[in-house]
A and B are shown apart, each in its own frame.
Chain A
Amino acid sequence: MQNSITREVIIKAAKEKVYDAIANPLKVVRWFPDEIEGTYAVGERPLSVFKEHNAKVSTYIVDAKPFEYFAYRWIPGGNEFTGDVMTVPNTLVEFTIQEIEDGTCKVVVTESGFAQLPAEMAEVSFKQNSGGWDYMLGRFEKYFKQA
């Protein structure tokens, strides 16, 4: 499995405001986890709550450099894990904010460490997601019934 993902977005707002939306626990819940339980600060391990997956995920805040960088480790894929994230295979999520012109920022998110995750995690996700084999077999069954 490839080891990392990089995505980016251009935001028409000052870097202070963008950083605040990522690093401020009262703001981040407006676009990312539904809730944060615990202290959202460097060295802490709050729980990120995802109601959609009915899951809480231990999140270790690695670093925060105001207005340009914020990073944490967590477990991707919407699986519940409330133990210590640092004791299990995890991924590193890094946000970098770059002001490309006055009042416009480029935000790059990089998530890395997929290569060390257990294969079952991807398999479970595959089955939930596309239905995997069930889906494929269902289609073939239909095909043969028609033929």
Chain B
Amino acid sequence: MEAQIFKALGDPLRLKIVQRLSLKETYTIGNLTQGLGISRQGARKQIQVLESAKIVRLSPSGREVNVTLQVNSLQVGKDFISKLENQWDARLQKLKDIAENTT
């Protein structure tokens, strides 16, 4: 999965698209790829690469398709848990110091 993400972002055009997405919540494919010098079909292709790497999420809205940046929920969950684990380790170490070194 990580390799897929790196590969998807390892292209200046797709990176530019993702950078735009980080500025605003939602774009249509048209707005998102405006001024990049690519055809509508080319834009779709690039965005599909991002979608299959789960970097963006596509949702149809009328005749348009909205594109949003997808925060990888698995990664986010793992990060949250490991942060809390580290906090507990630090607290328990402090508890140990206090219980062992005070009378």
Contacts and interface: CB of A to CB of B under 8 A. Distances in A.
Interface of A: 1-2, 5, 7-13, 17-18, 21-22, 27, 30-32, 76-77, 107, 109, 111, 114, 119, 121-123, 125-126, 129-130, 132-134, 136-137, 140-141, 144
B103 to A, nearest CB: 9
A8 B79 contact: no
B9 interface: yes
B49 to A, nearest CB: 15
B91 interface: yes
Contacts of A22: 95
A140 B80 contact: no
Chain A contact residues, majority secondary structure: helix
A95 to B, nearest CB: 9
B69 A77 contact: no
B71 A5 contact: no
A126 B99 contact: no
Nearest to A126: B76
B71 A111 contact: no
Contacts, number: 95
B88 A31 contact: no
B19 A137 contact: yes
Q: Interface residues of B toward A: which range?
A: 20 to 34
Given A18-B95, A137-B19, 8 more contacts: A5-B81, A7-B85, A21-B99, A31-B95, A32-B95, A114-B81, A122-B76, A125-B80
Given A11-B100, A144-B15, A125 B95 contact: no
Contact of A30 (B69, B85, B98): B98
A131 B63 CA distance: 35
A2 B79 CA distance: 11
B93 interface: yes
